[in-house]
């Protein structure tokens, strides 16, 4: 009897071990997902990037990773030498999967892809990464036109010039930027963006003596934004302007040196210029000074108000001016209600929108 019990125990242990062994075998088999093969190429003269993934056994979806030297639309999508995931796509039956980025910035990039399966196995299992593919885009799809005629436009008109991500969907490319014409001469027009096109701090860190000349936002506008928002034709039309950096009208905080800029922000004094269509009072709830952020900026988490609206009945946000605020570590701004705040906000605040302004040559 004792021997029978011992035998039964041994058999039970064997069954358990075999069961675990089978589980281990099954798990090992489940983990084995085929590594995808990819092709990467440019389309439309290098303005778009196409990634073709071969059909892969047991794959439910694919993760696409990119690293490179090109600058994307803003700090939010800035590529670097480190890989970042740019797409997560499900498999389209047994066919090859093609992912196309309609607008991609110029630069040299490396691309790799891995498969995964979550549905079949109950928990996500990844394959190894595919072999890296390198590709160079020589020309970014910045802007939509190769020629412009602004000879018949007038003050108050809205024009389209350049392009920037606005709807928050990077896969469909950038959208044309809308600009309000503030002033027109025989040679040029002064414009400001209709919408807050991004969310960027006036300066990256706390600084006791920041001015427009030394600010991060000035560098961002004249470097990253200028490079990414305009094609070569448009860049040739943007004038280098001597920008006067006035002291704060109320608190006399020093505005610093005047600067030469292609892209700039409007000033505190320009906010009471009735020739530009603004109220001549800082304290008025001026609907013409109110500004709505784009869907892209809203998705980035900018602070918006719902009480005050633009003339198009859109929710509004605060937006930066280039003039210093109450202290040298603050910058003036326009509130969501259309009032100009001379106190301003700390330069590292990240809740204010950016409305670029520039002069466009029409000769």
Answer for the pair 33, 119: CB distance below 8 angstroms, yes or no: no
The reply to whether 126 and 233 lie within a common domain is: no
The pLDDT score that the predictor gives to residue 104 is 65
Q: What CATH number does residue 42 fall under?
A: 2.60.40.10
Residue 142 included in any domain: no
Highest mean pLDDT (candidates 54-63, 87-96, 261-270): 261-270
Residue range(s) defining the domain that contains residue 42: 38-137
Residue 25 lies in a domain: no
pLDDT of amino acid 321: 98
- Residue identified by tokens 């030498």 is 81
Residues 334 and 239 occupy one common structural domain:
yes
Q: Which of 14-28, 39-53, 239-253, 271-285 has the lowest mean pLDDT?
A: 14-28
**Do 168 and 263 share a domain, yes or no?**
yes
- Using DSSP, state whether 275 is helix, strand or coil: helix
- Token pair belonging to 254: 């020093």
For residues 212 and 203, the answer to whether their CB atoms sit within 8 Å is no
Check whether 259 has a pLDDT greater than 70. yes
Q: Are residues 167 and 95 in the same domain?
A: no
Q: Are residues 253 and 355 in the same domain?
A: yes
Chain segment 90-118, per-residue pLDDT in tens: 865 456 788 877 666 667 888 999 988 88
On whether both 131 and 193 belong to a single domain, the answer is no
The closest of 317, 360, 324, 361 to 344, measured between CA atoms, is 324
In a shared domain, residues 169 and 123: no
Examine the pLDDT at 2 and tell me if it is beyond 80. no
CA distances from 233 to 29, 58, 160, 188 (A): 57, 48, 14, 15
Q: What is the pLDDT of residues 144-201, one digit of tens each?
A: 577 899 999 999 999 999 999 998 877 677 899 999 999 999 999 999 999 999 999 9
Let me know whether 116 and 73 are in one domain: yes
13 — pLDDT class (breaks 50, 70, 90)? low
199, 295: one domain: yes
The verdict on 253 and 326 lying in the same domain is: yes
Contact between 222 and 263 (Cβ < 8 Å): yes
**How many structural domains comprise the chain?**
2
pTM over 0.85: no
Q: Which of 137, 169, 192 is the last residue of a domain?
A: 137
Q: What is the pLDDT of residues 202-246, one digit of tens each?
A: 998 777 789 999 999 999 999 999 998 998 899 999 999 999 999
Return the closest-CA partner of residue 343 out of 259, 261, 249, 276.
249
Q: Is 225 helix (H, G, I), strand (E, B) or coil?
A: helix
**Looking at the predicted structure, is the pLDDT value of residue 81 above 80?**
no
Q: Identify any residues that bridge with 189 across adjacent strands, giving them in sequence order.
A: 184, 360
Residues 122 and 262 in one domain: no
**147 domain-assigned:** no
Q: Are strands 133-137 and 158-164 parallel, antiparallel or unpaired?
A: unpaired
């Amino acid at each position: 009897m004792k021997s029978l019990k011992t035998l039964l125990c041994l058999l039970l242990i064997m069954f358990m071990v075999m069961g675990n062994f089978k589980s281990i075998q099954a798990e090992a088999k489940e983990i084995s997902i085929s590594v995808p093969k990819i092709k990467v190429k440019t389309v439309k003269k290098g303005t778009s990037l196409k990634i073709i993934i071969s059909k892969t056994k047991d794959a439910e979806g694919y993760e696409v990773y990119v690293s490179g030297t090109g600058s994307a639309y803003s700090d939010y999508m800035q590529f670097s030498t480190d890989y970042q995931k740019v797409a997560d796509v499900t498999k389209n039956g047994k066919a090859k999967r093609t992912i196309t980025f309609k607008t991609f910035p110029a630069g040299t990039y490396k691309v790799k892809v891995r498969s995964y399966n979550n549905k079949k196995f109950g928990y996500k299992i990844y394959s190894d990464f595919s072999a890296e593919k390198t590709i160079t885009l020589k020309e970014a799809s910045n802007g939509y036109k190769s020629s412009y005629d602004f000879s018949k436009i007038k003050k108050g008109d809205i024009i389209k010039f350049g392009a920037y991500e606005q709807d928050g969907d990077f896969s469909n490319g950038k959208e044309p930027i809308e600009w309000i014409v503030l002033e027109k001469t025989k040679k040029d027009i002064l414009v400001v963006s209709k919408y807050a096109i991004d969310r960027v701090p006036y300066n990256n860190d706390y600084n006791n003596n920041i001015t427009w000349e030394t600010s991060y936002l000035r560098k961002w506008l004249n470097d990253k934004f200028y490079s990414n928002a305009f094609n070569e034709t448009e860049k040739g039309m943007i004038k280098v302007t001597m920008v006067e950096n006035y002291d704060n009208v109320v608190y006399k905080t020093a505005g610093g040196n005047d600067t030469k800029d292609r892209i700039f922000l409007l000033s505190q004094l320009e906010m009471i210029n009735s020739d530009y269509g603004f109220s001549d009072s800082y304290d008025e709830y001026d609907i013409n000074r109110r500004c709505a952020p784009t869907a892209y900026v809203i998705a980035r988490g900018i602070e918006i108000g719902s009480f005050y609206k633009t003339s198009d009945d859109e929710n509004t946000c605060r937006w930066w001016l280039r003039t210093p605020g109450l202290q040298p570590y603050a910058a003036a701004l326009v509130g969501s209600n259309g009032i100009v705040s001379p106190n301003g906000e700390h330069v590292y605040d990240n809740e204010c929108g950016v409305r670029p302004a520039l002069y466009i040559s029409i000769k």
